[in-house]
């Protein structure tokens, strides 16, 4: 039984969640959101998904007023695109997502167990 729990836990943490950060240019706190996004993205690996479905792997993503900049890990070249062409920037943090999911699972399991 213990081995099943360990295997299930490892599988869960390996495939755990990601985070989403929404930036809306019509928001009054747009500039603050851009600064927070750039701080979050600094040194992190991300997937950039464009409106046409093309996906780029990137590190050191940086958002400006009209463009998104990143470094391609394979070539180490700085690349940019107009931000209106970007559908989503996807960051993955398995440990944080796993811990959040485990907490939610614990609370829901405890609730069901009490009933």
Residue 23: pLDDT band with limits 50, 70, 90: low
Distance CA 87, CA 84 (A): 8
Residues 6 or more apart in contact with residue 102 via CB below 8 angstroms: 12
Residues 6 or more apart in contact with residue 5 via CB below 8 angstroms: none
CATH of domain 2-114: 2.30.30.100
Full-model pTM: 0.60
- pLDDT tens across 44-73, in order? 888 888 999 999 999 999 998 889 999 999
* In the chain, where the domains are located: 2-114
Burial of 11 from C-beta contacts in 10 A (0-12 / 13-18 / 19+): exposed
């Amino acid at each position: 039984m213990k081995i099943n729990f360990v295997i299930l836990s490892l599988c869960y943490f390996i495939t755990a969640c990601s985070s989403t950060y929404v930036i809306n240019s019509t928001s009054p706190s747009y500039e603050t959101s851009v600064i927070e996004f750039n701080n979050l993205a600094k040194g992190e690996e991300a997937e950039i998904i464009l409106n046409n479905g093309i996906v780029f792997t990137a590190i050191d993503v940086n958002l400006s007023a009209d463009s998104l900049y990143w470094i391609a890990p394979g070539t180490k070249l700085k690349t940019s695109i107009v931000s209106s062409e970007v559908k989503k920037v996807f960051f993955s943090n398995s440990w944080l997502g796993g811990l959040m999911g485990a907490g939610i699972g614990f609370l829901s399991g405890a609730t069901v167990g009490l009933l």
